[in-house]
């Protein structure tokens, strides 16, 4: 199962406990992880879908012990569970809509607005700050047409987000490996959309894994476009696994660059664990990113 399939299941309320395949299924009562001493310069989080083979309450307990402050991509029915464990939902799903159908399709604008008009006030009431959204697939649209369509559709939603103190955050995804035909697949396009929408409450989710695949030059891109970025995801390249020495990105330097921009949002781990104990993999990768 890929992430877009996991998102679809979350947004429709379907169970995803079987996610992870044979590697993650090897877990057998991993020992509790002692609370890590973190430096405090990064607000660490993790994406739930990468750990769906672990019962929710156990995962939240272990995430708290590792030192995480938030969990990404939770549905409404999971927010309170995280809050009760002393965490937050650092990025909530867009409810009914997934990755392929988004704001570049004018025929969806009214339905998208109704969806977010229901979701955003609830997220605000729960004390959340970030709600995810997607451009949708191109379906033959030029980048210029997609930009115009997205800006028109986002206008009302961004105003609603501002009213409730919520950040509406569009994710940058690669269209080369994982999300064929996705439109918001380059940082300059996303930044141009931010400028066109013109709201401090509409920004980008810069997924380091995805943007390394599409455009590379990660540190320079972060430095240039950081004012448009409200959230970060990690992942090893190639393969989207642990962010260790087995892959091509050096995450301590990337995290240092993020900190130097003055960023104070969340960095969420979104790699698919290959270790027999995925919680230990999570702890290790948080340690790598803790600069």
Query: Cβ neighbours of residue 109 under 8 Å, at least 6 residues apart?
Result: 103, 152, 153
Q: Are residues 229 and 102 in the same domain?
A: yes
Q: Are residues 43 and 11 in the same domain?
A: yes
Q: Take residue 283 and report the two structure tokens written for it.
A: 């702890």
Q: Take residue 40 and report the two structure tokens written for it.
A: 């405090």
In a domain, 124, yes or no: no
Last residue of a domain, one of 213, 233, 253: 233
Last residue of a domain, one of 218, 233, 248: 233
Q: Are residues 12 and 101 in the same domain?
A: no
If one counts every other C-beta atom within 10 angstroms of the C-beta of residue 135, the result is: 30
Predicted local confidence at residue 26, as pLDDT = 31
Residue 198: exposure state from Cβ atoms within 10 A (0-12, 13-18, ≥19): exposed
Q: Are residues 23 and 9 in the same domain?
A: yes
In a domain, 228, yes or no: yes
Check if the beta carbon of residue 54 is closer than 8 Å to that of residue 279.
yes
If one counts every other C-beta atom within 10 angstroms of the C-beta of residue 40, the result is: 8
Query: Cβ neighbours of residue 224 under 8 Å, at least 6 residues apart?
Result: none
Q: Are residues 10 and 87 in the same domain?
A: yes
Predicted local confidence at residue 94, as pLDDT = 86
Check if the beta carbon of residue 111 is closer than 8 Å to that of residue 129.
no
In a domain, 218, yes or no: yes
Domain of 105, CATH number, reads 3.20.20.150
Last residue of a domain, one of 186, 203, 233: 233
88's enclosing H/E stretch is strand 88-92
Q: Give me the tens of pLDDT residue by residue for the chain, a chain 291 residues long.
A: 566 666 555 554 443 333 233 333 333 333 445 567 899 999 999 999 999 999 999 999 999 999 999 999 999 999 999 999 999 999 999 878 989 999 999 999 999 999 999 999 999 999 999 999 999 999 999 999 999 999 999 999 999 999 999 999 999 999 999 999 999 999 999 999 999 999 999 999 999 999 999 999 999 999 999 999 999 999 999 999 999 999 999 999 999 999 999 999 999 999 999 999 999 999 999 999 999
Q: Are residues 289 and 186 in the same domain?
A: no
DSSP 172: P
Q: Are residues 206 and 266 in the same domain?
A: no
Q: Are residues 16 and 77 in the same domain?
A: yes
Predicted local confidence at residue 17, as pLDDT = 33
Predicted local confidence at residue 33, as pLDDT = 56
Q: Are residues 150 and 243 in the same domain?
A: no
Check if the beta carbon of residue 287 is closer than 8 Å to that of residue 36.
yes
Query: For residues 79 and 43, what is the distance between their CA atoms, to the nearest angstrom?
Result: 18
Q: Are residues 83 and 192 in the same domain?
A: no
Query: For residues 142 and 135, what is the distance between their CA atoms, to the nearest angstrom?
Result: 13
Find the domain containing 48 and state its range: 1-93+237-291
Report the number of distinct structural domains present in the chain.
2
């Amino acid at each position: 199962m890929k992430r877009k399939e996991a998102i679809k299941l979350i947004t429709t309320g379907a169970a995803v406990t079987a996610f992870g395949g044979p590697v993650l299924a090897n877990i057998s009562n991993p020992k509790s992880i002692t609370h890590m001493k973190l430096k405090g310069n990064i607000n660490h989080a993790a994406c739930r879908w990468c750990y769906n083979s672990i019962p929710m309450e156990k995962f939240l307990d272990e995430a708290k012990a590792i030192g995480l402050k938030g969990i990404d991509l939770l549905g409404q029915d999971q927010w309170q569970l995280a809050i009760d464990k002393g965490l937050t939902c650092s990025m909530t799903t867009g409810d009914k809509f997934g990755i392929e159908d988004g704001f570049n399709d004018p025929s969806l604008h009214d339905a998208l607005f109704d969806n977010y008009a229901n979701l955003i006030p609830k997220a605000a009431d729960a004390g959340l700050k970030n709600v995810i959204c997607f451009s949708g697939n191109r379906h033959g649209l030029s980048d210029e047409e997609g930009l115009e369509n997205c800006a028109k559709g986002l206008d009302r939603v961004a105003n609603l987000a501002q009213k409730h103190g919520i950040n509406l955050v569009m994710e940058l995804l690669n269209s080369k490996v994982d999300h064929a035909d996705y439109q918001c697949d380059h940082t300059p396009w996303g930044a141009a959309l931010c400028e066109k929408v013109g709201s401090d409450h509409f920004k980008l989710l810069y997924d380091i894994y995805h943007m390394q695949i599409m455009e590379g030059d990660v540190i320079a891109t972060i430095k240039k476009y950081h004012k448009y970025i409200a959230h970060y995801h990690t992942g090893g390249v190639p393969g989207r696994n642990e962010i260790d020495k087995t892959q091509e990105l050096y995450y301590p330097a990337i995290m240092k660059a993020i900190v130097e921009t003055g960023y104070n949002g969340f960095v969420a781990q979104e790699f698919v664990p290959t270790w027999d104990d995925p919680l230990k993999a999570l702890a290790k990768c948080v340690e790598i990113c803790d600069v």
